[in-house]
């Protein structure tokens, strides 16, 4: 009888551990939220693949699926709209969302994986040699068919939260940047071989056509790969 009970307990423990390995876990860190902030910060909410989460330390579990992208709907305090954040939960890692005092968003940390927020922009069949710019946050790269470097937002502030708006656009290079000129008012730090060269980092441009743009949150140890097929006018992600 004792042997049967031991076997059952072992089986239950094994099933619990197996179940834990099948799900990614998300929780929040409230240590930076002081008493005078709690009421307004409590208004912030996430819906991670539809599951609701607040700054209260609760844990939600998400089934990883490397073959599909996931959504986080985020409502920040004092905002009338919701942000739609795209991510890819590929493995059963553990993530902590941390309040960002500076910039009205949040930070993400993980003790089970190294988070890589870089983006690799690729292009193929660009027979007309059209000029394309891929950007993540305040950093961009002129994309050609030889590009193999993933870039990250090297020009953002140290206080900036996790996540960046990434964009892929057909552009025209501008000679003189002018905030009042609606025909030429885009500027990023330009990523060249090995990174941004801060003695010549500003790239000024006009967007001819934006092919895609969305808010991206890196959760894995590898970059997001964005590939644009210029002949088919089609973008794929992996």
pLDDT of amino acid 49: 96
- Prediction pTM value: 0.84
Pairing, β 224-229 against β 234-237: antiparallel
Q: For the segment 167-193, what is each residue's pLDDT rounded down to a tens digit?
A: 999 999 887 655 666 677 788 988 887
Report the candidate in 228, 10, 31, 232 with the shortest Cα–Cα distance to residue 121. Answer: 228
Report the candidate in 62, 67, 160 with the shortest Cα–Cα distance to residue 117. Answer: 160
What are the residue boundaries of the structural domains of the chain, listed by start? 21-110, 119-237
Pairing, β 224-229 against β 119-124: parallel
21's enclosing H/E stretch is: helix 2-21
Q: For the segment 25-60, what is each residue's pLDDT rounded down to a tens digit?
A: 999 988 877 777 777 777 889 999 999 999 988 999
**Which residue positions in the chain have pLDDT lower than 50?**
6-20
pLDDT of amino acid 50: 95
208's enclosing H/E stretch is: strand 202-216
Angstrom distance (rounded) from CA 63 to CA 216: 19
């Amino acid at each position: 009888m004792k042997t049967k009970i031991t076997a059952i307990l072992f089986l239950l423990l094994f099933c619990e551990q197996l179940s834990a390995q099948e799900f990614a876990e998300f929780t929040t860190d409230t240590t930076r939220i002081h008493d005078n902030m709690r009421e307004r910060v409590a208004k912030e909410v996430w819906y991670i693949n539809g599951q609701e989460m607040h700054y209260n330390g609760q844990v939600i579990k998400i089934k990883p699926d490397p073959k599909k992208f996931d959504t986080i709907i985020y409502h920040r305090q004092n905002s009338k709209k919701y942000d739609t954040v795209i991510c890819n939960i590929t493995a059963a890692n553990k993530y902590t969302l941390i309040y960002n005092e500076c910039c009205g968003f949040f930070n993400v940390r993980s003790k089970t994986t190294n988070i890589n927020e870089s983006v690799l922009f690729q292009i193929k069949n660009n027979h007309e040699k059209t000029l394309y710019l891929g950007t993540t946050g305040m950093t961009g790269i002129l994309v050609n068919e030889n590009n193999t470097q993933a870039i990250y937002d090297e020009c953002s502030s140290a206080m900036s939260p996790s996540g960046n708006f990434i964009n892929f656009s057909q552009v025209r290079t501008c000679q003189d940047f002018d905030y009042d000129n609606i025909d030429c008012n885009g500027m990023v730090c330009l990523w060249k071989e090995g990174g941004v060269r801060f003695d010549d980092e500003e790239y000024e441009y006009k967007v001819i056509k934006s092919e895609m743009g969305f808010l991206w949150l890196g959760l894995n140890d590898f970059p997001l790969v964005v590939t644009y097929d210029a002949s088919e006018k089609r973008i794929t992600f992996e």
